[in-house]
Amino acid sequence: MQKAITIRDVAKRAGVGISTVSRVVNGGAGVNEATRERVRAVIAECGYAPNNNARQLKQRHADAAAVIVRGAGSMFLASVLELLQPRIEALGLRFLAHYIDEHDDEAAAARAIHAEKKVRGIVLLGGSVVGREDKLDLPNVPCVYATLDARTVRAKNVFSVSVDDRAAAYAATDYLLARGHRNIAVLGGRLDAENPIALRFRGVLDAFSARGLAFPRANYLPAGFSFAAAHAAMDAALSQGFGCTAVFAMSDIMAIGAARALADHGRSIPGDVSIMGFDGIALAHYMLPRLTTMCQNAEAIARESAALLALGLSDAPGVRHVTLDAELIEGESVANSSRPALDRI
């Protein structure tokens, strides 16, 4: 059985102290951005899951709000979490972070946390609303889905803020199509739930359809949201003779992992293959070449999440679901296609 990664392992790999890792995980101050990004990269690479859940669950916090984070490896969710903390504390609430695995049921976790700690509100970072409707019906406890459109959930206590994932993926795909790319690989997660990834994939299909094209389903490469998982998926496809002129990865972390696999196979970016990400994490700016990406505004998501939490606590009328626009950030990782797209090389 593989030994679990500890906070000490993360600190050693990142070349920092244990207290620094703890501050990064919990959104604390006193860590410069470069160090914070390095620690987050190590967390994403090794799959470290902070073990602060049990410690926090031993305490009851009637004047607290819990933030449930799906997966500890997402740099984007980590940035939203960090920005959320001061906004939640400004509401007079203690800030509690609770981490769950990528495939766990965050609504079930929300019920468990409320039963144990009696928190006044819950923010859910990441997840899916399918099958969660009854589980989220917690009277007088506002539950805010951040990064997910939950307007289909009819429970009175559910709020949400998200980018328009379908429109953003459409824009990303059309950006590649407009530059002559036709054989585009799409790197993403599971498509069997009503989640942001499924919506982004619909945006990909919409963009192809708008130009009278059909997206080859074999070009969808499923992978987990980590450097290693994306690298493995891209490496496996390339090893089997897969060829494309562009890659659209549904997270920047996946894009960076895929870029390494392309380099391992002797493909230059953007000379041989263009690559595009999604999220707009700080690390994307430092990739060589600098990554072109669809940027989600982490600060706006944190701000609107806190505002919706406050609205729910006040029981006042107001807009319950907020949709934000994503912004295309042009880097240096996309070039015009200069050769015919080949299905296999």
With 60 as the cut, is the pLDDT of residue 340 above it? no
Residue 97 lies in a domain: yes
Strands 121-125 and 321-324: unpaired
Residues 249 and 309 in one domain: no
Q: Residue 220: its pLDDT value, please? A: 97
Contact in structure between 216 and 245 (CB atoms under 8 Å) = no
Residues 158 and 198 in one domain: no
Residue 107 lies in a domain: yes
Contact in structure between 245 and 339 (CB atoms under 8 Å) = yes
Q: Which domain holds residue 193?
A: 165-295
Buried/exposed 127-154: b ≥16 CB within 10 Å, e otherwise: bbbeebeebbbbeebbbbbbbbbbeebe
Q: What are the start-end ranges of the E strands in the chain? A: 64-70, 94-100, 121-125, 143-146, 158-163, 184-188, 220-222, 246-249, 274-279, 292-295, 321-324, 327-329
Neighbouring residues of 243: CB distance < 8 A, sequence distance ≥ 6: 183, 342, 343, 344, 345
Residues 15 and 156 in one domain: yes
Pick from 287, 306, 279: nearest CA to 74: 279
pLDDT (mean) for 211-230: 94
Contact in structure between 245 and 185 (CB atoms under 8 Å) = no
With 50 as the cut, is the pLDDT of residue 11 above it? yes
Residue 2 lies in a domain: no
pLDDT (mean) for 229-257: 96
pLDDT (mean) for 219-240: 95
**Class of residue 299 by CB neighbours under 10 A (exposed 0-12, middle 13-18, buried 19+):** exposed
Contact in structure between 116 and 100 (CB atoms under 8 Å) = no
Residue 79 lies in a domain: yes
With 90 as the cut, is the pLDDT of residue 178 above it? yes
- Mean pLDDT lowest among 17-26, 48-57, 171-180: 48-57
Pick from 123, 121, 277: nearest CA to 187: 277
pLDDT, tens digit (0-9, with 9 covering 90-100), for 34-85: 888 888 888 888 777 665 544 444 444 568 999 999 876 789 999 999 999 9
Residue 344: pLDDT band (50, 70, 90) is very low
Residue 132 lies in a domain: yes
Residues 32 and 158 in one domain: yes
| Residue 203: its H or E element | helix 196-210
Q: Which residue has the tokens 């990528």?
A: 102
Pick from 168, 197, 177: nearest CA to 71: 197
Residue 315: pLDDT band (50, 70, 90) is confident
Residues 107 and 170 in one domain: no
Residues 19 and 89 in one domain: yes
Q: Residue 134: its pLDDT value, please? A: 61
Residue 131: pLDDT band (50, 70, 90) is low
Residues 270 and 135 in one domain: no
Residue 343 lies in a domain: no
- Mean pLDDT lowest among 73-87, 133-147, 167-181: 133-147
Q: Residue 1: its pLDDT value, please? A: 47
Residues 180 and 282 in one domain: yes
Residue 343: pLDDT band (50, 70, 90) is very low
Total count of residues recorded for the chain: 345
Neighbouring C-beta atoms of residue 121, cutoff 10 Å:
26
Residues 290 and 305 in one domain: no
pLDDT (mean) for 139-157: 87
* Diameter of the chain measured on Cα atoms: 62
pLDDT (mean) for 272-299: 96
pLDDT, tens digit (0-9, with 9 covering 90-100), for 191-217: 866 688 999 999 999 999 999 999 999
With 90 as the cut, is the pLDDT of residue 161 above it? yes
Cα distance between residue 201 and residue 194, in whole Å: 11
Residues 169 and 141 in one domain: no
Q: Which two tokens stand for residue 217?
A: 């389903």
pTM over cut 0.85: no
Residues 276 and 319 in one domain: no
Contact in structure between 36 and 50 (CB atoms under 8 Å) = no
Query: What's the structural domain count of the chain?
Result: 2
pLDDT (mean) for 293-314: 95
DSSP string, 28-95: -SS--HHHHHHHHHHHHHHT-----HHHHHTS--TTEEEEEEE-S--HHHHHHHHHHHHHHHTTT-EE
- First CA to last CA across the chain, in angstroms? 39
Residue 208 lies in a domain: yes
pLDDT (mean) for 264-292: 96
Residue 296: pLDDT band (50, 70, 90) is very high
Residues 18 and 134 in one domain: yes
Instruction: Give the angle subtended at the CA of 246 by the CAs of 243 and 248, to the nearest 5°.
Output: 115
Q: Residue 130: its pLDDT value, please? A: 61
Residue 187 lies in a domain: yes
With 90 as the cut, is the pLDDT of residue 99 above it? no
For residue 287, the domain's CATH number is 3.40.50.2300
Pick from 341, 335, 345, 303: nearest CA to 88: 303
Residue percentage of the chain with pLDDT more than 70: 88
